[in-house]
Amino acid sequence: MAERVFVHLGLPKTATTYLQTILWASRPLLREQGVLLPGEERRDHLWASRVVREDPNLAGAPARHRTAWSRLTQELAGWPGTGLVSHEFFAAASAEQAQRMIADLAPAEVHLVVTAREPLGLFTASWQESLKNRHTTPIEEYALEVSPSPNAIWNWRTLDLRLVLQRWAPSLPASQVHVLPLDTRAPREEIWHRFGALLGLDTEAFDLSGSFPNESMGVVEAEVLRRVNAHLGDFQRAFDRGVYIRTFLADERLVPRRGERFWPPQERIEEQRRRGREWVDFVRAEGYDVRGDLANLLVPDELEPRREPSSVTDAEVADVAVSLVAQMLGDVRDLRTRVADEVSPSRRGWWRWRSRSGGR
């Protein structure tokens, strides 16, 4: 088994996509520097998290999904240096599942890595992420409770730093539990350098140009997506949600509109202020290894004025929706033109005629 294995749990919406993009694009360099990122593709770590969390839907999944965790551990068993497993959905595991995963990695010295973020920004970003996963819950009603299920991601089960650490950390020395508070005011490369330094990497040697931020929608755009989701009842598969709702609709068409930023209602803001103070007190009391400033987990006392999602009017929704229909009509035209150009020359004229005639 690897000498040490770092298990990066997330939390969700704490630069995990950014860090994982760098890591998966740099696997040969990671190996040169003594760090193994096991698996053939990034989704192997997602599927491994589902195995660890005993996702009941795995029963009908392909064997590649069901064997993901055993494949990762087999690779780690043959590696003499440092190993890394990274996916934010591990954060949802129960205490029993977490301890089994740590035991599966024996005799390696297991280290937990938790990237964290002040809870107001985390709350707002995770609500948007839930919309990109076809949810329709208004922000006022979002994450009111902690789910008992290790397969529920978008609630405080995975978002609350204290709850996640209470399930994952009890069997490990505090020195092997690393908390990296995200500084949202710093350049985004800063979290990479702290994360990589923890792994013992020469972080300056890595190409960061292929990484990207996971950006947010504006307040009207988020409300448009929330309402559209109510009409997408047959978009149940993860593939449909990822390709069509998240990527095609949200990330590629709504996010680029650069709409107005927003806050949740005042009572939810105060809830996150309390939560941030609890997190800081807990991490200090437990004596975990903190790489960064715990003050970055506190919600500021003063916030700039922003709208609430409940203030969005039907007229604003209609305006964005009309623009979206026009844009998507252009998308369909461009797609059909590309298809026509890809067919054989003898059929190209027929294809274009059929497109113009409506397929008659």
Q: What is the pLDDT along the chain (360 residues), one digit of tens a residue?
A: 899 999 999 999 999 999 999 999 999 999 999 999 999 999 999 999 999 999 998 998 999 999 999 999 999 999 999 999 999 999 999 999 999 999 999 999 999 999 999 999 999 999 999 999 999 999 999 999 999 999 999 899 999 999 999 999 999 999 999 999 999 899 999 999 999 999 999 999 999 988 766 778 999 999 999 999 999 988 888 888 889 999 999 999 999 999 999 999 999 999 999 999 999 999 999 999 999 999 999 999 999 999 999 999 999 999 999 999 999 999 999 988 888 777 655 555 544 555 555 554
CA distances (Å), origin 12, targets 87, 155, 245:
9, 10, 19
The first and second tokens of residue 38, run together, are 């096991």
* Tokens linked to 7: 């298990």
The token pair at 274 is: 């309390």
CA distance 76 to 78: 5
Q: Give residues with Cβ within 8 angstroms of 260, minimum separation 6.
A: 218, 219, 220, 306, 307
- pTM of this prediction exceeds 0.85: yes
User: H or E stretch including 110?
Assistant: strand 109-116
Question: Is the CA virtual torsion 170, 175, 177, 181 positive or negative?
Answer: positive
Angle (deg, nearest 10), helices 266-286 and 161-168: 40
Using alpha carbons, select from 103, 93, 139, 141 the residue that is nearest to residue 1: 103
Residue with tokens 């996702």: 55
For residue 274, list its beta bridge partners.
none
Nearest in space to 216 (alpha carbons), one of 17, 10, 9:
17
Residue 93 and residue 48: Cα distance in Å, rounded?
12
Residue written as token pair 């205490």: 95
CATH number of 4-216+265-310: 3.40.50.300
C-alpha–C-alpha distance, residues 45 and 43, integer Å: 5
Q: Which amino acid makes up residue 106?
A: A
Q: Where are the domains of the chain?
A: 4-216+265-310, 313-356
